[in-house]
C-alpha cells in the first residue's frame, strides 16, 4: 500500500457506493456518489454541506479517525443501516493502525520532528465545544530514528564492521591527527599464506562525507533497503488475530475476510535465561545461562522438548494446562461461562459452573492432532481443582499467586503462562492481573491452538494495517461517507451539553483549491481517546506506550524445528518478561518478527534478506522506554551472528488516563470513546470495544450483520444486474 497524497475529500449523501481497492503497492480510494437532489441549489462544491456549513439532514454517526476500532464500528453501523460520516486528517487509512512504506514512514518522522506541537485552541470554551487533536498519529512523539543520512551514523569506531574498497573488515585502530583519520582495518574475506587476515591502512579527512570506508550497516542499508524501500510495508501498531477469537468470527460473519489473506504465526519465543541441570550432579539443582530465545511450548511435544523447564516443572505445567483446557472447553460451550464463578446469586453461579459432563463430552469431540494440549483421553474433571479455581476467581486472587500456591509453578513456568500464553499482563501489573482475567486470556489461547497452524495466531498479508482498510471498504460499500485529509477540530455542544456537530478542518489541494472549515451535524460522535485534548488542570499520565520498528539484516529467529513447509521464514512472536537484568524493564516487552513471507519486506537478493522486528512496551517517561527497546534489539540480535539492525524508528504516545475523560462519561452526551489498545499484540480488544459502542448506538441490533432494511436495499440495487455484462469484469478477466 502506498500513501495517496493526492486523495481529496470523498463524499456521499446516498446509500450506495462504488469501491476502488487494491493490494500491495497500489493506492486505495473509496468514492461515493451523491444522490441528494434536494440540496443541489445550496450544496457546496463538495456536494456534502450547504452554504452555512451544515448537512441538510445530518448523520446518525460521525466517526473520527480510521483506526481499527473505528473502522470495525463503521462497517457494523453501515450494515445496520445508519448514515455514517468517517473522517480522518491523514491521507491514508488506519491512523495509528496504518501500514506505511518505508519512504512514507520516514516522511512522517520528518514531519513530526518539525512540528512545534503548540496548541492554538487551548482557550476554547468547553461549555460550547470540546477541542480535539486532529488525529491519533498527531499525538505521537518521535524518540529516535536511525538513518544513514545522519552524520553520527557514518562515524567509524574501533571494533566496528566496515566496508572498504577491498571488501568487509573490522576496525582495529582509529586515530585522529591534524584533521586526518588514520584507520587500521583487518579484512575478513582475505586469507594470507600464514592463515591470517591481511591488515589495510587508510587515511581520510575527518569531516569527509564520501569516504572509502563506511560502516557496514550503512552500506547494507543503502544497497538492500533504501533502493527497495517501496517493497517494505511497516505497521505502526502490528496486530495478531486469535485463530478462534472475536476478530476472526467478526470478519467471517461480515464477509470482510474476503478482503484479506492471512498466514499463521510459526512460533512463540520467550527471551529469558534458561534453567538447565548441572552436569555431573545427581540432584535436580539447576544453573541459569545467558538469556536466549527459547520456544514456548504449544503442544505436548513442545512441553517435553523445551529447554525452559526442568522435568518436574514440565509435569506440573502439563497438569495445570489440562485444568486450563477443561476451563476453556466449558467457557466455549456455555454462553454464560465467559465469566464463570463470578456472578452474584445462586442461580447465576449454577449456570456458570464448570460442569463435568460438558467438559468430558467436548474433550472427547475435540480430540484432534492439532489441539495437542487437550487431554489425550476422556478423563473426568478433578472437582477439587475446579472448586479451588472457582474460589480464587471469586476472591479476585492475582493470577501469579494462584499459579504459585495451587500449582507450585516456578518463576520460569509462571512467565511462560502469564506473559507468553495468556498475553494479558501487558496492560496491568502482575499483582493486579487477576485469576479470572488470566484464565479467560489463557482460554482464548488454548481454544485457538492448532486451528490454522502450530500456534494460536494469524497475521494478515501486506501488514495488519490491511484490517482497517478492509473494514473501511465494507463500510463504503454499504453507504458510508469518507473524508480524508479532513480531521476533526472540535465537538460542538448545545445548551444542554449534548454533542450536536463536529467541526472538521479545511485543506488546500494541489490545484490551489482551498476548502474552509465545516461544521457537520450528527446524533452520535465516536472519537479515539487519544484525540481528546487534556484539560489543563488534569494531571497527565506518566505512563507511555513505546514502540520500535526495526529493519534487520538476516533471519532473527533460528527455528530448530524448521521444515520444508516453513524453512527459515520469520513469523514469530517474541516475549521479554519484566525484570530483565540488562533492560531493567518493569513491564513485559512484546515483539513480532516478520519477513517477506507475509509480503512486508523485499525478497532475498545476493543471499541478503531482511527481517522486520516490532517491539512495544509500557513504561514511565522517566524510565527511558526507548532505551529499553534499544537494549532489547541489541540483546536479541546478539544471539544471531547474522542479524544486524539497518534502520529503526522509535516513537511513543501517552497511555489512556481514565481521569482525563471525566467530561465524556455521560452517555447522554452522545459521545463514545474508543480506548487505546496500548501495547497489546492482538486485535481482540478492538472488536470488543467496537461491539460495546455499537450496542449503545444500535440496541437490539446484531453486530456486523446486515439489517433487514440494508439487506433489502442491497438486493434492490442488484436487481437486474448481470455480472457478465460488466465491462470492468470483462477487462479484468482478459488474458
Q: Which of 185, 186, 183 is CA-nearest to residue 206?
A: 183
C-alpha cell at 170: 573490522
Q: How far apart are the first and last CA of the chain?
A: 25
Banded model confidence at residue 534, pLDDT cuts 50, 70, 90 = low
Choose the weakest-confidence range: 31-45, 497-511, 552-566: 31-45
C-alpha cell at 158: 574501533
Mean pLDDT of 287-304: 75
Banded model confidence at residue 30, pLDDT cuts 50, 70, 90 = very low
Choose the weakest-confidence range: 278-292, 560-574, 594-608: 278-292
DSSP at 174: E
User: Does residue 82 share a domain with residue 168?
Assistant: no
Is there a domain that residue 62 lies in?
A: yes
For residue 28, give the CATH number of its domain. 3.50.50.60
C-alpha cell at 482: 469518507
Choose the weakest-confidence range: 155-164, 232-241, 627-636: 155-164
> If DSSP codes are grouped into helix, strand and coil, which group holds residue 410?
coil
Q: Which of 659, 689, 371, 378 is CA-nearest to residue 535?
A: 659
Banded model confidence at residue 20, pLDDT cuts 50, 70, 90 = very low
Is there a domain that residue 104 lies in?
A: yes
Choose the weakest-confidence range: 58-72, 594-608, 668-682: 668-682
Is there a domain that residue 270 lies in?
A: no
| Core vs surface per residue 32-59: b (16+ CB within 10 A) or e | bebeeeebeeebbeebbbeeebebeeeb
User: Does residue 302 share a domain with residue 429?
Assistant: yes
Q: What is the pLDDT of residues 696-730, one digit of tens each?
A: 999 999 999 887 777 777 666 666 555 555 565 56
Cα 114 to Cα 153: distance, rounded to the nearest angstrom: 20
Is there a domain that residue 711 lies in?
A: no
Q: What is the pLDDT of residues 355-377, one digit of tens each?
A: 454 444 444 444 443 444 554 44
User: Does residue 107 share a domain with residue 30?
Assistant: yes
Is there a domain that residue 329 lies in?
A: yes
User: Does residue 446 share a domain with residue 315?
Assistant: yes
Domain final position from 177, 193, 212: 212
DSSP at 434: B
Q: pLDDT at residue 300 above 60?
A: yes
Question: What is the SS3 assignment for 94-119?
Answer: CHHHCEECHHHHHHHHHHHHHCCCCC
Cα 520 to Cα 123: distance, rounded to the nearest angstrom: 22
> If DSSP codes are grouped into helix, strand and coil, which group holds residue 53?
coil
Q: Considering only CA atoms, give the Rg of the chain.
A: 28
Average per-residue pLDDT for the chain: 77
User: Does residue 448 share a domain with residue 306?
Assistant: yes
Is there a domain that residue 254 lies in?
A: no
Banded model confidence at residue 548, pLDDT cuts 50, 70, 90 = very high
Q: Which of 399, 418, 419, 428 is CA-nearest to residue 618?
A: 428
Residue-wise DSSP of 602-649: PPPBTTB-EEEEEEEEEEEGGG-HHHHHHHHHHHHHHT-TT-EEEEEE
User: Does residue 470 share a domain with residue 450?
Assistant: no
Domain final position from 454, 472, 491: 454
Q: Which of 518, 599, 433 is CA-nearest to residue 1?
A: 599
Choose the weakest-confidence range: 80-84, 382-386, 487-491: 382-386
User: Does residue 475 share a domain with residue 447?
Assistant: no
Percent of the chain with pLDDT over 90: 30
Domain final position from 420, 454, 488: 454
User: Does residue 428 share a domain with residue 395?
Assistant: yes
Q: What is the pLDDT of residues 413-455, one digit of tens each?
A: 888 899 988 887 665 567 788 999 999 999 889 888 888 888 8
Query: How many domains are contained in the chain?
Result: 3
pLDDT for 718 equals: 61
Q: pLDDT at residue 476 above 70?
A: yes
Is there a domain that residue 568 lies in?
A: no
User: Does residue 513 share a domain with residue 369?
Assistant: no
Interior angle at CA 101, CA 266 and CA 257, nearest 5: 50
Is there a domain that residue 499 lies in?
A: yes
User: Does residue 127 share a domain with residue 190?
Assistant: no
User: Does residue 98 share a domain with residue 200?
Assistant: no
pLDDT for 723 equals: 56
**Which range marks the domain in which residue 357 is found?**
298-454
For residue 422, give the CATH number of its domain. 1.10.405.10
User: Does residue 485 share a domain with residue 372?
Assistant: no
Cα 41 to Cα 38: distance, rounded to the nearest angstrom: 8
Amino acid at each position: 500500500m502506498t500513501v495517496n497524497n493526492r486523495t481529496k475529500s470523498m463524499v456521499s449523501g446516498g446509500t450506495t457506493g462504488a469501491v476502488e481497492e487494491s493490494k500491495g503497492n497500489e493506492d486505495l480510494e473509496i468514492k461515493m456518489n451523491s444522490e441528494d437532489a434536494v440540496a443541489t441549489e445550496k450544496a457546496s462544491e463538495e456536494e456534502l454541506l450547504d452554504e452555512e456549513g451544515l448537512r441538510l439532514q445530518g448523520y446518525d454517526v460521525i466517526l473520527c479517525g480510521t483506526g481499527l476500532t473505528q473502522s470495525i464500528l463503521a462497517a457494523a453501523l453501515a450494515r445496520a443501516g445508519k448514515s455514517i460520516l468517517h473522517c480522518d486528517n491523514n491521507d491514508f487509512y488506519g491512523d495509528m493502525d496504518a501500514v506505511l512504506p518505508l519512504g512514507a514512514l520516514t516522511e512522517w518522522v520528518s514531519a513530526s520532528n518539525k512540528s512545534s506541537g503548540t496548541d492554538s485552541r487551548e482557550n476554547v470554551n468547553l461549555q460550547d465545544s470540546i477541542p480535539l487533536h486532529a488525529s491519533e498519529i498527531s499525538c505521537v512523539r518521535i524518540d529516535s530514528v536511525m538513518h544513514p543520512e545522519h552524520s553520527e551514523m557514518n562515524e567509524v569506531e574501533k571494533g566496528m564492521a566496515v566496508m572498504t574498497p577491498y571488501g568487509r573488515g573490522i576496525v582495529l585502530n582509529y586515530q585522529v591527527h591534524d584533521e586526518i583519520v588514520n584507520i587500521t582495518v583487518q579484512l575478513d574475506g582475505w586469507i594470507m599464506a600464514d592463515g591470517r587476515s591481511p591488515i589495510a591502512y587508510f587515511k581520510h579527512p575527518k569531516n569527509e562525507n564520501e569516504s572509502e570506508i563506511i560502516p557496514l550497516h550503512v552500506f547494507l542499508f543503502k544497497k538492500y533497503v533504501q533502493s527497495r524501500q517501496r517493497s517494505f510495508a511497516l505497521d505502526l501498531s502490528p496486530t495478531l488475530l486469535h485463530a478462534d477469537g472475536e476478530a476472526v468470527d467478526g470478519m467471517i460473519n461480515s464477509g470482510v475476510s474476503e478482503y484479506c489473506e492471512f498466514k499463521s504465526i510459526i512460533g512463540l519465543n520467550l527471551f529469558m535465561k534458561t534453567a538447565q541441570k548441572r552436569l555431573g550432579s545427581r540432584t535436580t539443582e539447576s544453573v541459569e545461562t545467558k538469556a536466549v530465545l527459547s520456544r514456548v511450548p504449544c503442544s505436548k511435544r513442545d512441553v517435553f522438548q523445551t529447554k525452559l523447564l526442568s522435568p518436574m516443572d514440565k509435569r506440573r505445567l502439563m497438569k495445570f494446562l489440562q485444568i486450563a483446557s477443561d476451563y476453556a472447553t466449558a467457557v466455549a460451550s456455555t454462553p454464560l461461562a465467559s465469566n464463570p464463578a463470578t456472578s452474584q446469586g445462586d442461580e447465576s453461579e449454577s449456570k456458570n459452573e464448570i460442569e463435568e459432563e460438558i467438559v468430558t463430552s467436548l474433550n472427547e469431540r475435540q480430540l484432534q492432532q492439532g489441539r495437542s494440549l487437550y487431554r489425550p483421553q476422556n478423563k473426568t474433571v478433578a472437582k477439587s481443582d475446579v472448586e479451588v479455581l472457582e474460589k480464587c476467581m471469586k476472591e479476585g486472587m492475582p493470577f501469579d499467586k494462584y499459579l504459585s500456591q495451587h500449582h507450585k509453578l516456578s518463576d520460569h513456568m509462571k512467565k511462560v503462562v502469564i506473559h507468553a500464553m495468556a498475553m494479558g499482563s501487558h496492560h496491568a501489573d502482575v499483582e493486579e492481573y487477576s485469576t479470572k482475567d488470566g484464565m479467560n486470556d489463557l482460554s482464548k489461547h488454548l481454544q485457538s491452538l492448532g486451528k490454522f497452524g502450530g500456534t494460536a495466531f494469524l497475521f494478515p498479508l501486506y501488514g495488519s494495517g490491511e484490517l482497517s482498510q478492509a473494514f473501511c471498504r465494507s463500510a463504503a460499500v454499504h453507504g458510508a461517507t469518507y473524508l480524508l485529509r479532513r480531521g476533526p477540530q472540535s465537538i460542538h455542544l448545545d445548551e444542554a451539553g449534548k454533542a450536536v456537530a463536529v467541526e472538521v478542518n479545511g485543506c488546500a489541494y494541489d490545484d490551489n483549491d482551498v476548502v474552509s472549515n465545516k461544521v457537520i451535524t450528527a446524533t452520535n460522535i465516536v472519537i479515539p481517546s487519544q484525540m481528546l485534548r487534556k484539560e489543563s488542570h488534569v494531571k497527565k499520565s506518566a505512563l507511555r506506550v513505546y514502540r520500535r520498528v526495526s529493519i534487520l539484516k538476516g533471519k532473527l529467529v533460528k527455528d530448530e524445528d524448521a521444515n520444508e513447509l516453513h524453512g527459515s521464514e520469520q513469523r514469530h512472536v517474541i516475549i521479554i518478561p519484566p525484570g530483565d537484568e540488562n533492560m531493567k524493564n518493569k513491564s513485559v516487552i512484546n515483539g513480532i518478527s516478520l519477513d517477506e513471507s507475509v509480503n512486508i519486506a523485499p525478497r532475498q537478493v545476493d543471499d541478503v534478506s531482511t527481517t522486520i522486528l516490532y517491539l512495544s512496551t509500557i513504561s514511565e517517561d522517566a524510565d527511558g522506554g526507548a532505551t529499553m527497546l534499544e537494549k532489547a534489539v541489541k540483546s536479541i540480535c546478539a544471539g544471531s551472528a547474522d542479524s544486524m539492525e539497518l534502520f529503526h524508528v522509535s516513537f511513543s504516545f501517552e497511555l489512556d488516563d481514565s481521569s482525563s475523560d471525566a467530561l465524556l462519561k455521560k452517555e447522554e452526551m452522545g459521545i463514545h470513546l474508543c480506548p487505546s489498545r496500548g501495547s497489546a499484540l492482538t486485535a481482540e480488544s478492538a472488536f470488543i470495544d467496537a461491539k460495546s459502542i455499537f450496542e449503545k448506538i444500535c440496541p437490539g441490533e446484531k453486530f456486523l450483520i446486515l439489517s433487514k432494511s440494508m439487506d433489502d436495499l442491497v438486493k434492490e440495487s442488484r436487481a437486474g444486474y448481470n455480472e457478465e455484462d460488466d465491462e470492468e469484469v470483462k477487462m479484468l478477466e482478459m488474458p
